[in-house]
Structure 1
Amino acid sequence: MGQDGPGDLTMVPVSMGTTIVATTFNGGVILAADSRTSSGAYIGNRATDKITPLCDNVYCLRSGSAADTQAIAGYVQHFIAQHQAEENDRISVKTAATLVRTLAYNNKDNLSAGLIVAGWDKHGGEQIYSINLGGTMTQVPFTMSGSGSTYIYGYADKNWRPNMTQEEAHDFVQRCIRYAIAWDASSGGCIRTVTITKDGVKRVFIPGEEIPPCFGELPREARVG
């Protein structure tokens, strides 16, 4: 039996990138994500949907291994469907987030999964829960994750504020993703957002050609190749 070495691709760490952002506003939450799925320098999918519904009023943002986060979301969708059928009522955002946290924590040695769970319920209103790679869950007013988040912490800290209107919050998350796409090579593609309020869910899709260039970037029509 040969020993693992530099030529063994199974032992080489894979660099994965993304940018996900969520914020509360006065009456709801907004989740936003880029759409690039990468494995090192290879872009596997330019139009991935990283915003996954767990149920009607709770969605999650996925970062880390796409397979790991999809598996967690699938199990939680199943558990929530059972719970809501038994209780004949919508699940609370905190309960949904706790299910995600439990799966992430119990499998922390085998999974690479950082998730953000957000939604609205009649008990707690708008809520966001950040669940890191180790399975720690924290309730926060806004949060971000992924490789692109390191480029936008300064912008977010300066421009986020509590009790924003829906329009202000949507502009905030859109700018966060836009700036991350501009400066992080592992983030890119288009921008997707999901807005959740007591009145329901609204999705917005912004294709790449409609994302304005940032400072220092050439406009798309001026680029070659």
Structure 2
Amino acid sequence: MTSVFNPFASHYDAINDKDDFNIGITDRKNTVAPLETEAERNIRTRTVTPVVTGSSVAAFIFNGGVILAADVLGSYGSLAKYRNLPRIHQVNDQTVMALSGDLSDADYIKESIDAKVDEDIVQEDGSEMTPVALHAWCTRLLYHRRTKLNPLLTSVIVAGLENNEPFLGRVNDKGSAYKEFLIMTGIGNHLALGWVRTILENSAQLNKDQAEQLMDRIIKQLYYRDCRGFARYRVCIVTKDGVEFKAKEVQPDWSLAPALRNTE
């Protein structure tokens, strides 16, 4: 008897598609393998969670150079645990960088840059890390880590003199970069950026002493209002004469505090 083809009947080939696709079998469960193991997931979670952090960094261009300042506190959550961690790093005689955010990632960036500088010295080709070159290099580094879903949770400020002209730029943890005459990171963006920009735009260019006085005022305001601020800080001034560091400490005046109400 000739078989008649029925288009509505189920048909399976020799590899037993019914079992492989779990057709009509209720006691078999197909599971999808996870994209990452539990250990990898924990590592990724820790990577995107800063532990020891640094607060705001302030920097701006004045007449003849660039000035930067940052406190020396490493905050372990809300605990002021590490009280002598400088966050301004000198790369060479014309280039410096300042970092805020996760300080472990900041150390990694500093070590990577120092290794690159040592490589340039060994090659003896006369090349040197300029501010523009360092700014571009940090942009590539942070963007590369972001695309690997393992970002460096650090903001980098690059400053120095490029062809005897002041340079100031920033790179955030996503690899986005820009150049500006005034840059602040952290909560300083909200507490000080506005009124400092007004001073710098509505007055003549500041000289070195005026720039240092304004920077002291900025750090003092941040110390008053930032719960992660610290009294001791370092100021870095880059001019054609080289790089100069100064260690300072805020002298606060709390005489107005008893007159305030509802501040607890």
Normalization by structure 1: what TM-score? 0.82
2:176 corresponds to 1:139: no
Q: Which has the larger radius of gyration?
A: 2
Show structure 1 runs of 5+ residues with no match.
3-8, 219-225
- Matched position secondary structure for 1:204: strand
Residue 73 of structure 1 aligns to which amino acid in structure 2?
A: K
2:128 corresponds to 1:86: no
**For residues 132 and 191 of structure 1, what CA distance do their matches in structure 2 show?**
22
Equivalent in the alignment of 1:193: 235
Q: Quote how far apart the aligned CAs of 1:10 are.
A: 5.5
Equivalent of 2:168 in 111, 118, 128: 128
User: Taking structure 1 as reference, are residues 217 and 117 closer, same or farther at Cα in structure 2, changes over 3 Å only?
Assistant: farther
- Matched position secondary structure for 2:217: helix
Equivalent in the alignment of 1:5: none
Equivalent in the alignment of 2:156: 115
Higher mean C-alpha deviation, range 65-74 or range 77-86:
77-86
Q: Is the 8 A contact 2:50 2:153 kept in 1?
A: no
User: Taking structure 1 as reference, are residues 163 and 83 closer, same or farther at Cα in structure 2, changes over 3 Å only?
Assistant: farther
Q: Quote how far apart the aligned CAs of 1:88 are.
A: 1.7
Residue 27 of structure 1 aligns to which amino acid in structure 2?
A: G
Equivalent in the alignment of 2:90: 53
**For residues 67 and 104 of structure 2, what CA distance do their matches in structure 1 show?**
24
Show structure 2 runs of 5+ residues with no match.
1-37, 39-44, 259-264
Equivalent of 2:217 in 175, 183, 196: 175
How many residue pairs match? The answer is: 210
The ranges of structure 1 where at least 4 consecutive aligned residues each deviate by more than 3 angstroms after the TM superposition are 9-17, 214-218
Q: Quote how far apart the aligned CAs of 1:86 are.
A: 3.3
**For residues 106 and 204 of structure 1, what CA distance do their matches in structure 2 show?**
34
Q: Quote how far apart the aligned CAs of 1:170 are.
A: 1.1
**For residues 155 and 76 of structure 2, what CA distance do their matches in structure 1 show?**
16
Equivalent of 2:193 in 153, 168, 174: 153
Equivalent in the alignment of 1:27: 64
